[in-house]
Structure 1
Amino acid sequence: MKLTFRQIEIFNALMTAESVTSAADMLHTSQPTISRELARLEQVLGFSLFERVRGRLKPSNAAYTLFEEVKRSYIGLERIWSTVEDLRTDQIGRLSVLTLPAFSQSLLPGACLKFLDIHQRVGVSIAVQESPFLEQSLSYQQYDLGLTENNDTPSGTTLKPLLSVDEVCILPNDHPLLAKDIIDIRDFEGQAFINLSPTDPYRIKLDQELYRLGINRKTVIETPTAASVCQLVSKGAGIAIINPLTALDFIDHGLQIRPLNVSYPFTINILLPLHRPFNPHLDDFITALEAEAKEIKTKISQYTHDSR
């Protein structure tokens, strides 16, 4: 016996909805149908995918492994449907972009507008993913272009530098350190500090540098995203060192930027798959990215150089 698309569809719904009832609602079918098809699927596979715990389905390790493959297949199906929709709406093409979440808010909106000004009939599909899964997806040739902070070149890709700027200190509006034009790294001694997660590469580098200098911050909150760091600083929870792209979005929302007396470079690189069919709109999109990056760098310099 072979797997059927219907069985895969039901498995995807079960993994997403986490219950037979919700999966049946998602697929507009009955619970007995879901249960019957799941039993057939497990029979074909030769192993169990779920166990029932308090009336809910708990996926096995094998189910999670299979689900990763299914999700990649669904990405392919979504691309097919996107192409169909493009044909219906008379679009002449579509560009797929995979990015870190922060860049979907701070860099891509402006770049997309620049691109669409000259390509009004070309669609742009943006997906977000964290490293290392972002780099893995580009190695698998699943997107036309990727945006990453990583300076390493994954297999099957080429890396193109886009932007390099220094990280900045961010402070709430009424913080005493705002009296200084430039924040000395030693000013962080004893300060309430908002940190990124311990596994963040920029956090790791900063921890190593401050440890080397013997500077002890008072870490009050750890949070996984630069946007949440900025939100917490703007509310007065502490100060932080963060990438300036995200910080710019919070300038008018209770947050101030100051340059540091040391350089902690923040980089953005373009990842391009080497073996994916060439998208004829790719070069123009890269040009739009470069123009937006240049504007952002100019805006950052207005806040950092004016303070010196």
Structure 2
Amino acid sequence: MAEAFVGTTFFIQKCVIFEVIYFISDMENCMPITLRHVEVFHAIMTAGSLTKAAEFMRTSQPTLSRELATLERLLDLKLFERRSRRLFATEKALTLHAEVKRSYFGLEQLMHAAEAIRDNTNQSVLIGCLPLFSLTLMPRVCRRLLESEPSSRIGLYPVEQASLMRDLLALRYELAVIEVGVPVDGVEIGEVTAGEEVCVLPFGHPLAARAVIAPGDLDDQTLISYSSTDPYRARFQRLFPDPGSFRNIRVEVPMADAICSLVQQGVGVGLVNPFSAHAYRGRGVIVRPLSISIPFVVGICRPRGRPISTLAANAASLIAEECRLMAEEFAKPGT
């Protein structure tokens, strides 16, 4: 039985990786790229050097170097720069490797499922989430889920929202946890309010003496904000009665954690979600509520029309419950 399973595993692996081969090949030219070429490329990108890749694949460095050169010739792509006897991946190599990793990732999911079926322990769930939630909300959810289902397995993958929605539709995850924004076709989204947007201030800042921060209080302050094209910033500007504060933006960053880190250094003040704010609270950052209500809404997503496993349904329920519990914690006096 075990030998048959291993044989099937190897066959599936070859099929999945050959899918990558045809993705990167010109179908008209039918270039003779082999499984070995893809394995060599993946090993070098993962190991970071020819020497380590050769050790991993139990072969010689010159052999890998020749096979890599053959792959570059067949693809007509320069995958690596060779400087001072070292390899440096080109932008094309990074793009190609992203496709290779995506297929390997799909293979890993398939093998986890096959192992679970073989061992009669088919209790696993794959959850994609924003990096923000992987550090704040989801550790609490994972703890409770494993307490209730000790034999279950959880795959938690922090991914940016655009890629997260694409991967969810490709059925790479059963659930995704996002910030609610524009609806996505084919995705069912359950919404739960998890507190309010807040203002973060450095220790010793004059506004820290106030219990609540009004939009006008920020007019003469150095503001750290999201970029001008970020929908999050547009939402703040749309909801503020007078967007004059946003003329004082001195630093633009893409993430709430970066805003909190800059506030921690005394660079200025910022407006962020409650999860990021309270992760930094007491570490050089003071958190104050806003005088206007700007709810922070978490979306629990799954592919529309697809059946959901019992474990995934339990996970979704726990995510919603933890969001509500954390919102209550954020609202406590003194917090």
Sort the TM-score into its range (normalised by shorter chain).
0.7 to 0.9
- How large is the Cα RMSD of the aligned pairs? 3.0
Relative to structure 1, the CA distance from residue 139 to residue 151 in structure 2 (aligned partners, 3 Å threshold; closer, same or farther) is same
2:97 paired residue number: 67
1:301 paired residue number: 331
2:289 paired residue number: 259
- Please list the CA deviations of residues 187-233 of structure 1 after superposition, one character each: whole Å capped at 9, or x if unmatched: 11121222234443212333566695333554343333322322332
Does 2:69 match 1:39? yes
Matches within 5 A, 1:84-233: 92-207=122-237, 213-216=243-246, 218-233=248-263
TM norm structure 2: 0.78
2:26 paired residue number: none
Q: CA deviation at 1:257?
A: 1.9
Q: Which consecutive unaligned segments of at least 5 residues does structure 1 have?
A: none
Q: CA deviation at 1:269?
A: 0.4
1:50 paired residue number: 79
Q: CA deviation at 1:168?
A: 0.6
CA contact under 8 A between 1:141 and 1:274: conserved in structure 2? no
Structure with more helix by fraction: 2
Counterpart Cα distance in 2 of 1:128 and 1:148: 10
Counterpart Cα distance in 1 of 2:89 and 2:316: 44
Q: CA deviation at 1:85?
A: 6.9
Counterpart Cα distance in 1 of 2:91 and 2:330: 48
CA contact under 8 A between 1:170 and 1:257: conserved in structure 2? yes
TM norm structure 1: 0.84
Relative to structure 1, the CA distance from residue 58 to residue 291 in structure 2 (aligned partners, 3 Å threshold; closer, same or farther) is closer
- Please list the CA deviations of residues 53-75 of structure 1 after superposition, one character each: whole Å capped at 9, or x if unmatched: 535344364x4443332121110
CA contact under 8 A between 1:139 and 1:154: conserved in structure 2? no
Percent identity over paired residues: 33
- Tell me how many residue pairs correspond in the alignment: 303
Relative to structure 1, the CA distance from residue 236 to residue 145 in structure 2 (aligned partners, 3 Å threshold; closer, same or farther) is same
Which one is further off, 16-25 or 256-265?
16-25
Q: CA deviation at 1:186?
A: 0.9
Q: CA deviation at 1:242?
A: 0.6
Counterpart Cα distance in 2 of 1:26 and 1:191: 55
1:291 paired residue number: 321
Relative to structure 1, the CA distance from residue 232 to residue 279 in structure 2 (aligned partners, 3 Å threshold; closer, same or farther) is same
CA contact under 8 A between 1:141 and 1:275: conserved in structure 2? no
Counterpart Cα distance in 1 of 2:75 and 2:327: 56
Which one is further off, 294-303 or 31-40?
31-40
Q: Which consecutive unaligned segments of at least 5 residues does structure 2 have?
A: 1-30
Counterpart Cα distance in 1 of 2:207 and 2:247: 15
